[in-house]
Amino acid sequence: MSQHPSKPVIEVRQVLKTFAGKREVKALEAVDLAIGAHEFVSILGPSGCGKSTLLRIVAGLTPYQGGEVSVNGRAVMGPSPEIGVVFQSSNMLPWLTVRENMALGARLRKLPESVWAPKLEQLMGMLGLKGFEQHHPHQLSGGMRQRAAIGQILALDPQILLMDEPFGALDALTRDRLNVELLRIWQEQRQTVLLVTHSIAEAVFLSDRVLVMSGRPGRVVKEITIDLPRPRRPESIKENPRYGEYIAELSSLMGVFKDEH
């Protein structure tokens, strides 16, 4: 693994995870990674390699059997207000409006409205949800529901954003648009982001680094630093020869195509 100039915000050292059952399944073995402050890092790997399990371990949602996981130098013992998690499904409550859903986490934490209400108004504009505050989830498109779900987490002002295939269920065009939105939000907010994705192009477009995991039991087998200029815009980045080279390199690592020589 490469060395990072800043002290890591997220550290995973030799993590082991097994699932018990009739036949024990080893999901993760000797996983190491380190993510610095304000980095945007993506994880790629084959289906079933433990990417989502690893994300849930960092979030404090899933226990593990060996190794160490720390955030800001403290061992992860459970969920933390420093960490926000966005899943593939929006998890919005159907009987609440967009505004009520986005405020829900802050209300549950009993944060004063004077603290979260101005933030909520800013997020509504940033996420393109102005005018939809009183709509219910079923009245929104899939892309708008995911934007609201991201807003629900950002309203809590987490230092770290963990994202598990947040746009995986959306059509390609909506996914591309939301990638641009996500990048714009990150460039404004500068959280530390760890994204699990199956999309090589998404990982290259968004990330500072891409970590490639092996098949089960999953472990990090390669790290690729994405040296593309920021701010990134699809029309300019996709014309950059390095963009295509990164996609080709990661496609080869992921076994998308085999070297015939």
Q: How far apart are CA 87 and CA 168, in angstroms?
A: 10
Query: For residue 246, is it within any domain?
Result: yes
Compute the Cα dihedral for 21, 25, 30, 33 and give only its sign: negative
Q: How far apart are CA 73 and CA 120, in angstroms?
A: 30
R_g (Cα) of the chain, nearest Å: 19
Q: What pLDDT is recorded for position 257?
A: 58
Query: For residue 120, is it within any domain?
Result: no
What CATH number does residue 251 fall under? 3.40.50.300
260 has a pLDDT exceeding 60: no
Provide the percentage of residues in the chain whose pLDDT is more than 70: 95
Q: 61: helix, coil or strand? A: coil
Query: For residue 109, is it within any domain?
Result: no
Q: What is the DSSP letter of 7?
A: P
Q: Give the tens place of pLDDT for each residue, 121-158.
A: 888 887 888 899 999 999 988 888 888 888 888 888 88
Query: For residue 237, is it within any domain?
Result: yes
Q: How far apart are CA 214 and CA 180, in angstroms?
A: 28
Quick one: how far is CA 176 from the chain centroid?
15
Question: What's the mean per-residue pLDDT of the chain?
Answer: 87
Query: For residue 218, is it within any domain?
Result: yes
Query: For residue 136, is it within any domain?
Result: no
Instruction: Pick 11 or 185 by higher pLDDT.
Output: 11
Tell me phi and psi for residue 115, to 5 degrees.
Answer: -85, -45
**Domain of residue 253, residue span:** 1-82+182-261
Number of domains in the chain: 1
Q: 51: helix, coil or strand? A: helix
Q: What pLDDT is recorded for position 258?
A: 56
Query: For residue 226, is it within any domain?
Result: yes
Query: For residue 99, is it within any domain?
Result: no
Q: What pLDDT is recorded for position 3?
A: 45
261 has a pLDDT exceeding 50: no
Q: What pLDDT is recorded for position 44?
A: 95
106 contact partners, CB below 8 Å, separation of at least 6: 115, 116, 120, 155, 156
43 contact partners, CB below 8 Å, separation of at least 6: 51, 54, 55, 194, 195, 196, 197, 210, 211, 213
70 has a pLDDT exceeding 50: yes
> What angle do the packed helices 113-126 and 98-108 form, to 10 degrees?
140
Sheet holding 160-164, edge to edge: 83-86, 160-164, 192-196, 40-44, 209-213, 220-225
> What angle do the packed helices 142-154 and 172-189 form, to 10 degrees?
20
